[in-house]
A and B are shown apart, each in its own frame.
Chain A
């Protein structure tokens, strides 16, 4: 457990607005092939401990924003400024697909970020076990991905993203392909996991309900061209559980976010 102790920030996350800055996107635009504007003039600040959702219809550039932050492509205009030096393993990623290596066991899949830094399996075995324990898969370390259900594969993917204790975790619609029951369970587990290790998360989704349940900041985006329309804050305190999901507060927040999303869609029409 000592290995997975929280990064610079303590597990008790400071209230919104008082958290130290993690990164800033200033005037980010991305134009593909000189023609298609995927993202236009995006300004965003991200603080340590934020759980920020990017919410919007398809084509609003939320995945593009994520890929830019991940460093998989360069912006056409604007800059992404990280607070403090950047190093390998600063970022963990969960894609919509579990994206596991089918030839490797669960434990060896989770080992990947360490392996690419040249750390032997034996030297990080304890951390891998802890990560698998946190996602409830300690009994499946030796299994192959094909032997797992869709939800379990996603848990492995999450464990792999968290195992190095990165400063930022990017999640690109990770639960979109799962059934509703599994999705709710994973939402709960994700919050519990974040609570334990106190990291920062950017979560791309097109589900209003998911974004309200998970995040304390929701950035609503619109399409054609992809841009940020407004930001909604969800002040409800963590930990959030099934009680929150059925509370009037939750219902009120989803209404606020739904309206914001409708405005974003309306602008486009």
Chain B
């Protein structure tokens, strides 16, 4: 402490940084372990002795035992999620571009986008299942409806928030609208788009799951939601939990992947991806 270049205040700050470095991963881990322990204790203390509320070990064992079935379903759900997300990205971005190029297009079409967004998907899905026969298409449509709005609304906002002076500069240099879109508007809307993508990733998964639920036992898709329904009819509670955990893990992974993509694309220049400078 006698070092004059390192006063007490700075020493405390350095200590706090060290503590934070450890706590950053140790605390969440501790909470997970505590949750597992409480779960285990609870399912063993109830009268049913883990029959309808299976302890973690049983769920894990079921997950391993049913891995082929569950991972097969996982792939089905993932496929729908990513297909829907892909179409949502394309549709959302194209519509956003249309909206920013033509004020009238926005006036005419935006209300429909809002209506699609605010109407709960569970209430639209049964209708879609009546009119659309293709099993993949119907589930895909449901997931797409849920996922595309955040992309559309965020990208539209981003395209509109282009620096006015830069727009003037492009005009002075005689840029075509295509050049302006490609070199100016799309890059400056990128942070907004990526924010929308993070939301849409989670929503695409939700849309896929909801669609499978509505498809129900009769549905030809056999995704994870179908497995949960099926397991509940068979009173196979550990499998329900196992499928549920898989869905949650997939959701977290999608979020992590989109966050990583966002960081990758913005780390060089955007405030959101920069560390606070000390």
Contact = CB atoms under 8 A, between A and B. Distances in A.
B169 A99 contact: yes
Contacts of B60: none
Contacts of A219: none
Contacts of A101: 166, 183-184, 187-188
B163 interface: yes
Nearest to A98: B165
Interface stretch (B111-119, B143-151, B170-178, B214-222): B170-178
Interface string B163-207: 101101111111100010001100110100000000000000000
Contacts, number: 56
B190 A89 contact: no
A221 interface: no
A116 B179 contact: yes
Contact of A89 (B165, B173, B184, B188): B173
B269 interface: yes
A91 B172 contact: yes
B17 interface: no
Contacts of B49: none
Interface string A215-254: 0000000000000000000000000000000000000000
A23 to B, nearest CB: 15
Contact of A116 (B174, B188, B190): B174
A102 B172 contact: no
A72 B171 contact: yes
Contact of B269 (A95, A103, A112, A117): A103
B169 A103 contact: no
A118 B168 CA distance: 19
Given A89-B173, A91-B172, A103 B163 contact: no
A95 B175 CA distance: 18
B268 A144 contact: yes
B172 A144 contact: no
Contact of B175 (A93, A116, A146): A116
Interface in A92-112: 93, 95, 97, 99, 101-104, 112
B187 A103 contact: yes
B12 interface: no
A182 to B, nearest CB: 20
B18 interface: no
Contacts of B67: none
A91 B168 CA distance: 12
The majority secondary structure among interface residues of chain B is helix
Contacts of A91: 172
A88 B190 contact: no
A113 interface: yes
A115 B179 CA distance: 9
A103 B190 contact: yes
B13 interface: no
B15 interface: no
B266 to A, nearest CB: 8
Given A99-B166, A144-B269, A88 B173 contact: yes
B269 A97 contact: no
A136 interface: no
Nearest to B274: A146
Nearest to A108: B183
Interface string B263-278: 0000011110010000
A144 B271 CA distance: 12
Nearest to B184: A101
A71 interface: yes
B219 to A, nearest CB: 44
A71 B271 CA distance: 34
B187 A97 contact: no
Among all A-B residue pairs, the 7 with the closest Cβ atoms: A99-B165, A88-B174, A116-B173, A116-B175, A102-B269, A103-B187, A95-B165
25 contacts: A67-B168, A70-B172, A72-B171, A88-B173, A91-B172, A95-B169, A99-B166, A101-B187, A101-B188, A102-B270, A103-B190, A103-B268, A103-B269, A112-B173, A113-B173, A115-B183, A116-B170, A116-B173, A116-B183, A117-B174, A144-B268, A144-B269, A145-B269, A146-B269, A146-B271
